[in-house]
Structure 1
Amino acid sequence: MARPPLPIGTWGTIRTEKLGPNRYCARARYRDHDGRTRDVEATDTTGPAAIRALKIKLRDRVTPNDDEITRDTHISTLAALWLDEIITAEHVSPQTISRYEISVRVSIVPALGNLRIREAGAGRIDKFLRKVAEDRPSAAKSAKVVLGQMFALAVRRGALTTNPVRETGRLRNPRRQVVALETEQLNEVRSAIRKWQQPTPGKSGPRPTGDLADIFDLMLATGARIGEILALRWEDVDLAAEHPTLTISGTLVYLKGKGFFRQEWTKSDAGHRAVVLPRFAVGMLMARKITVADNPQDAIFASRRGTWLSPQNVRRQWRQARAETGLEWVTPHTFRKTVATLIDKESDADSAAAQLGHKTKEMTKKYYIVKPALAPDSSGILEQLGAKMATTDPDRRDHGPTRAT
């Protein structure tokens, strides 16, 4: 009967041989992950030392192949090869690739780049991700996505049999309380913007325009993201309709080497939507249409040079306007939450989700709607429990209040 083959990834009896003074060789038959059995050997100054060296070599055994990725490939090299692959495949959007490149450059390579693939076990990767998550939870989640795809490439090329990233623990973002603007706070925001837009004697630089106030008003009128607002063109607005509407069909994105440009689709399919404008937004847009200069993009909000106005520029202006006002917690996304909370209060979560461009209301309820601190008034219902107790408990019915002793 033929001897059964070794299980894949195991070796047979280790044999030692003296090659000369202080020179020993240890050999074993090893069945590689391609199914073939090969001789593997290691040498050292003593027999036991040669056996230990052989066991280490067998543990880190790489199946012979002609591929450029092996277990000894550095993670920095793996990252570069993976980025080249997804760029060549052209199935990932340019802005997503840009985010992946940032994650590789800022998070992954500085911490793990000098490790070899075989050295990056699940425990080491898990420790790295949790360290990043302490200060930058979103960066840790992005790094986990990138590492998962990088090591998936290593598995496909035969350098690994399993993906260690799959064995890492789940990353949890700290739950943040949803905060929306109350009417008084909204008035403070508008007051801060008006004060910031006023000319200041002796202040250098160009005078602030009225863009910031108009942008925030349109965010409050639509619940749209800042990138969606800044990507709006006059052709997206119908002010002559009986119920004036605004169609959100794109967003501003940034690519290294290209700058900001209008992406002709929204963040998700549900994000492509038309919203009916309230009167205050219609009035603002009509006044703006008359007073602002034309620009090549037909943008409602353009820079002084007629180019797309970047979200970073708007955020910078708002930081300047809110300085020393106690409104540091207010961001452009706060307006989106304010819209969702008000619509949910006056209508329902489904309407709020549709206004914000969410596919389902679950995300809207979890991240955009302020939870009421006061439970619904059920005192009338609960009163039945007290009435029932009073009529069925003879001791309570026949005796007055108990005096404390």
Structure 2
Amino acid sequence: MRHGRPRTPIGTFGEVLLTDLGGRYRASTRYRDLDGRLRKVTAVGSSQRRARTRLQERLVDRAGYGSGGLLSVASPFGDLCRLWLADLELRDISEGTKANYRDDLRLHVRPAFERYVLGEITTGRVEWFLRQQAALSYSRAKHTRSLLNQLFAFALRHDAIARNPVEGTSPLNRPKREIQAMTLEQVQAIRAAADNWRSGAALAGPKPDGKVRDICEVLLGTSMRPGEVLALRPCDVRETRQGMVVHVRGTVVRRQRRADFRQDQPKTDASNRSIAVPEFAAQVLRRRIGAMGPDQREVTIFHNRNGGVITLHNLRRTFREFLRDAGLADSGITPRWYRRTGATVLARGLGIDAAAAFLGHTSTAVTEGHYVAPDLSIDMAPARVLERALRPVDPDGVPLAAGASDEETDALEVIDRQDAGGEGA
């Protein structure tokens, strides 16, 4: 009978060895792959801890990883967080979404569970934590619940736990709230304030060029996200026999330790869309494009003096001055309210589905790409509804004056919530 060291189970690894390379360290181990062979896996780092962490990151993605590997019921919650963050970097989602996940983990989730090992985190403990979060805000509870669900699903995939403790927790009760859309009176008051902003003869400095005023008109007429309007270029705009059409192809985004920049894709795949523009907003775009040269087809229509993008911060700052002059400084209105206002008008004029499609929350790419000729794929009805309800002269105040039904309130809140975590304007 043969005696010796027990065989390493498939999907696990042996002892980790650390070697000093003279200022750097190499961590190495032998991993038993799905074919039964032991293979050496190594990683190098500037310290022993960094080398070991990099080795763990390589092992976690190895096919066949199972119990007895990087995570187990006895693993500290911090180990799960570190490995999940490494996996997050490989996912095909926006950098803004990744940053939000990191912040929620660092600020809310990790401090609550870092003293536990995975086997100690029960459904009851998760329930207690979520109730604490819900007492602060529904939004925070929703985000932390989603994050915990992803963390424990990751642990479950790697055989570290037998079940996801988030399952079985009580549903979150979303509080009913009135959808925050502007009234027609507020829209007109902001328009008037924007027209007269810094127009006094006694004011020092250069006169405003009206860019933020015009941005507000395009936001109102298209229900686009603020970053999408700031990213529009002349090459994204075309005239048709029925009116102007814009193609949403990008957005202006803000990242930590980096200036705002134009990203070549919008927030989601469904956000990449072509929409009809009501005449009052089309006039603004025509005037702005007409002042640009033929060599500026790919320069943003609303650009700063150096030809760069107008930042989200500068848009919000000037918009707050409009609100102050309009007597709405304490209203809580932001540029994103234009999107909610357009959604409300369209929902009441054409229905929730039409509003969602116009705002980029329903993908029609297959239909447009395979069944409908391009010129016929643009629905001009939303532009007509927005023109009638929101034009500067003689607007129809009925849509915004009507009361919202429960169905409309729920649907529009979904649209608003899906935009959360984006540009923040």
The structural deviation recorded for 1:161 is 0.9
Contact 1:199 1:207 in 2 (8 A): no
Alpha-carbon distance in structure 2 between the residues aligned to 1:109 and 1:216: 40
- Structure 2 match to 1:319: 320
**Partner amino acid, structure 1, of 2:181:** A
Structure 2 unpaired stretches of 5+: 1-65, 364-398, 406-425
CA change 1:242–1:160 in 2 (3 A) is: closer
The structural deviation recorded for 1:180 is 2.9
TM-score (normalizing by structure 1): 0.64
CA change 1:130–1:251 in 2 (3 A) is: farther
Alpha-carbon distance in structure 1 between the residues aligned to 2:203 and 2:400: 43
The structural deviation recorded for 1:237 is 0.9
- Structure 2 match to 1:373: 403
Structure 1 unpaired stretches of 5+: 1-63, 361-368, 376-405
Larger radius of gyration: 1
| Deviations, residues 219-257 of structure 1 (Å, cap 9, x unaligned) | 111111212212211110124755222111222333445
Report matched runs for 1:109-258 at 5 Å: 109-198=110-199, 208-239=208-239, 243-258=243-258
CA change 1:165–1:295 in 2 (3 A) is: farther
Q: Secondary structure at 1:270's aligned position in 2? A: coil
How many pairs are equivalent?
A: 303
| Deviations, residues 143-168 of structure 1 (Å, cap 9, x unaligned) | 22221121122223333211111222
CA change 1:323–1:124 in 2 (3 A) is: farther
Alpha-carbon distance in structure 2 between the residues aligned to 1:143 and 1:233: 37
| Deviations, residues 273-328 of structure 1 (Å, cap 9, x unaligned) | 22222222222122223446887961112234433223343223222331372352
| Sequence identity percentage | 31
The structural deviation recorded for 1:195 is 4.2
**Match for residue 72 of structure 2 among 70, 85, 88:** 70
CA change 1:371–1:266 in 2 (3 A) is: farther
CA change 1:307–1:135 in 2 (3 A) is: farther
Q: Secondary structure at 2:167's aligned position in 1? A: helix
The structural deviation recorded for 1:357 is 2.3
Are 2:267 and 1:267 equivalent residues in the alignment?
A: yes
| Deviations, residues 47-93 of structure 1 (Å, cap 9, x unaligned) | xxxxxxxxxxxxxxxxx964232333332332111110232x34444
Contact 1:295 1:306 in 2 (8 A): no
- Structure 2 match to 1:355: 358
Aligned-pair Cα RMSD in Å? 3.3
Q: Secondary structure at 1:123's aligned position in 2? A: helix
TM-score (normalizing by structure 2): 0.62
**Match for residue 81 of structure 2 among 79, 82, 85:** 79
Are 2:364 and 1:334 equivalent residues in the alignment?
A: no
**Partner amino acid, structure 1, of 2:403:** A
| Deviations, residues 334-373 of structure 1 (Å, cap 9, x unaligned) | 222322333344444444333222329xxxxxxxx97943
Alpha-carbon distance in structure 2 between the residues aligned to 1:75 and 1:196: 54
Q: Secondary structure at 2:328's aligned position in 1? A: coil
**Greater RCO (Cα-Cα under 8 Å, separation 6 or more):** 2
Alpha-carbon distance in structure 1 between the residues aligned to 2:102 and 2:299: 32
